[in-house]
Amino acid sequence: MCLGVPGKVTDIRDDRGTKMATVDFGGVTKEICLAYVPGAEIGQYTIVHAGFAITLLDEASALETLAMMREVGLLDDELGLDDSMLAQVDTGPDGGAS
């Protein structure tokens, strides 16, 4: 199964004419294409599917979804984390999301 996962945009840059970002998924970062949400700004939350940001959402919804996905084990699967990587992810009271 492939789900859309909420993450926080922490960096935005242009990569040969394509708007790209670093997105933080509660301690795990990935490089994401912002072509579908060109208005995204640093600090905003987005739903990411297959390496593309597909929509923006509010922080409360993003954090709630991340916590639920982590609780039922979906977050690890969707981010492709293995056991060694899981040990490095912050799982504090806020779900590791900033």
Express each pLDDT in 29-61 by its tens digit.
999 999 999 999 999 999 999 999 999 999 999
Chain-centre distance of CA 87, in angstroms?
18
What is the SS3 assignment for 66? helix
Residue type, 77: D
Count of CB atoms situated within 10 Å of the CB of 62: 23
pLDDT score recorded for residue 75: 76
Residue 40: CA count within 13 A, CB half-sphere: 34
Question: How many angstroms separate the CA atoms of 26 and 13, rounded?
Answer: 21
Provide the percentage of residues in the chain whose pLDDT is more than 70: 77
